[in-house]
Amino acid sequence: MKKILVANRGEIAIRVMKTAQKMGIKTVAVYSTVDRNAPHVKFADEAVWIGEAPSNQSYLLGSKIIEVAKNLNVDAIHPGYGFLSENADFAVECEKNGIVFIGPKSHAIKIMGSKLAAKEAVKAYNIPMVPGIDEAITDIEKAKQAATSIGFPILIKASAGGGGKGMRVVDSEADFESQMNRAISEAVAAFGDGSVFIEKYVGSPRHIEIQVMADSHGTILYLFERECSIQRRHQKVVEEAPSSVLTPELRKKMGEAAVLVAKSCDYLGAGTVEFLLDENNNFYFLEMNTRLQVEHPVTELITGTDLVELQIRVARGEALTITQEDLQIKGHALELRVYAEDPLNDFLPSVGHLDVYQLPVGDGIRVDNGFEQGMDIPIYYDPMLAKLITYGKTREEAIQLMIKAIENYQVEGVQTTLPFGKFVFEHEAFRSGKFDTHFVKKYYSPEILKEQAGKEAEIAALIALKQYFEDQKIVRLPN
């Protein structure tokens, strides 16, 4: 494998290229018109324009990307996450054209891409699942009967869904019909598929995911868990490894369950098995993400591995050289997704110009970044600027380092999730480890953030005033 094309943009494109270059592999970037001066384009050995700004005219054009790859004698394509990373047809097209797709085989992507097919696949392995119906459903009356038999509250989920779209919590039978209609129309709009399934709503869940890695020689490893319970709009914003609530016994049990999920679809490469953990430490299979996750750095830091390197090695047909016994958790890692979003305005995207953009540096601080000062934030893509990651010997150390790193992360021109991150890491519920996926709903409000910002500004002004008076006391000797 001498040359890899990275079919992505931003921080993940650079992240993959860094490992490829470390391994002596040449890299090719693809870019849309709006990204022509982006850091990932400059970072690659070669770069090719593939279309206009909207992703369906550029980063989602699988055939165009494969054409570029063939013209440049590319051996493999790494899809990153998002865009084409979980597109089974793209994986097939790569295979047909003699290009290695750095990811699982297409059949695994297909099975795990449908929540219902995934549940069907893992059923034979006795993996715990949330009580619910085992078939996609669009008939409202039939769905209502199923919901009543499961017992309210229930969760309606789009079968082809993701990112919190087509998802509705229903507390009572009276609200069922209207919420079902909403979920179906949302699912049709987002995925072109209105089928949904219904399951029991777990009241105070934690979102725990297990990183797995599988080679083509029969080895499947689990690289422990990531805690992803701090979310807004059903999407993760803060992640950590390890979780503060898992015992070694529970960790082993969940890890072994994740390995069985990977086995159920003959998995290859890096994948993540997501579970819900209830207040009694019962865990339930949620879904499998058949790609590298946004939050993979926290796993890398606590295990001392390079997941992208392992992906590339597995894709080359190599056997994994580490064993389950070799893997140990060392230290603690946290990640904050730095989005160009306004936490004071319902986390809506905040587009604009990066007038100031300076990253924090120091021991235990890692920033996987895709932007630089002077750039505009395009409206066409996910608004994530970077991932701020800290690593410490203990959870407390990683938290303190994160707070300091947030304070040293300078951004002007757009609003970001940095103040929200600081709020989370300073909050007693987070620090104590006693939180769940309802953290934002329970503890956060824009008013609290505004109040905190006001207090900080007041303290800064008092310090400046004190310094001014101190300076006035200095006796200036005549020349």
Residue 122 in any domain: the answer is no
Last residue of a domain, one of 160, 179, 200: 200
Q: Are residues 192 and 214 in the same domain?
A: no
Residue 343 in any domain: the answer is yes
Q: Are residues 388 and 421 in the same domain?
A: yes
pLDDT at 478 over 60: no
For the entire predicted model, the pTM comes to 0.88
Q: Are residues 193 and 228 in the same domain?
A: no
Last residue of a domain, one of 200, 224, 243: 200
Q: Which domain holds residue 35?
A: 3-102
Identify the pLDDT of residue 162: 64
- H-helix segments, 223-359: 248-264, 296-303, 307-315
List the catalytic residue out of 9, 15, 251, 291. Answer: 291
CATH number, domain of 184, equals 3.30.1490.20
CATH number, domain of 324, equals 3.30.470.20
Spell out the SS3 assignment of the chain.
Answer: CCEEEECCCHHHHHHHHHHHHHCCCEEEEEEEHHHCCCHHHHHCCEEEEEECCCHHHCCCCHHHHHHHHHHCCCCEEECCCCCCCCCHHHHHHHHHCCCEECCCCHHHHHHHHCHHHHHHHHHCCCCCECCECCCCECCHHHHHHHHHHHCCCEEEEECCCCCCCCEEEECCHHHHHHHHHHHHHHHHHHHCCCCEEEEECCCCCEEEEEEEEECCCCCEEEEEEEEEEEEECCEEEEEEECCCCCCHHHHHHHHHHHHHHHHHCCCCEEEEEEEEECCCCCEEEEEEECCCCCCHHHHHHHHCCCHHHHHHHHHCCCCCCCCCCCCCCCCEEEEEEEECEECCCCCEECCCECCEEECCCCCCEEEEECCCCCCECCCCCCCEEEEEEEEECCHHHHHHHHHHHHHCCEEECCCCCHHHHHHHHHCHHHHHCCCCCCHHHHHCCHHHHHHHHHHHHHHHHHHHHHHHHHHHHCCCCCC
Mind listing the pLDDT tens digit for each residue in 209-267? 999 999 999 999 999 999 999 998 888 999 999 999 999 999 999 999 999 999 999 99
State which H helix or E strand residue 115 sits in.
helix 115-123
pLDDT at 22 over 80: yes
Q: Are residues 184 and 223 in the same domain?
A: no
Q: Are residues 152 and 236 in the same domain?
A: no
pLDDT at 330 over 60: yes
Residue 459 in any domain: the answer is no
In the numeric block, which tokens belong to residue 258? 């994740």
Residue 452 in any domain: the answer is no
Count Cβ atoms below 10 Å from residue 407 Cβ, excluding itself.
Answer: 12
Q: Are residues 317 and 433 in the same domain?
A: yes
Catalytic, 9? Answer no
Residue 465 in any domain: the answer is no
Q: Are residues 369 and 252 in the same domain?
A: yes
Report how many domains make up the chain: 3
Residue 463 in any domain: the answer is no
Give the confidence band of 463 by pLDDT, cuts at 50, 70, 90.
confident
Which of 301-305, 366-370, 459-463 is predicted with the least confidence, judged by mean pLDDT?
A: 459-463
State which H helix or E strand residue 27 sits in.
strand 26-32
pLDDT at 458 over 70: no
Last residue of a domain, one of 143, 167, 200: 200
**Mean pLDDT score of the chain:** 93
Mind listing the pLDDT tens digit for each residue in 420-437? 999 999 999 999 999 999
Summarize the confidence of residues 382-397 as an average pLDDT.
Answer: 97
Residue 424 in any domain: the answer is yes
pLDDT at 455 over 70: no
Q: Are residues 398 and 304 in the same domain?
A: yes
CATH number, domain of 58, equals 3.40.50.20
Count Cβ atoms below 10 Å from residue 390 Cβ, excluding itself.
Answer: 30
Q: Are residues 98 and 151 in the same domain?
A: no
Q: Are residues 191 and 62 in the same domain?
A: no
Identify the pLDDT of residue 453: 65
Q: Are residues 223 and 237 in the same domain?
A: yes
Which of 96-110, 117-131, 312-326, 345-359 is predicted with the least confidence, judged by mean pLDDT?
A: 117-131
Residue 468 in any domain: the answer is no
Give the confidence band of 334 by pLDDT, cuts at 50, 70, 90.
very high
Q: Are residues 62 and 144 in the same domain?
A: no
Mind listing the pLDDT tens digit for each residue in 98-148? 999 999 999 999 999 987 789 889 998 999 998 888 788 888 888 899 899
Q: Residues in the chain, how many? A: 479
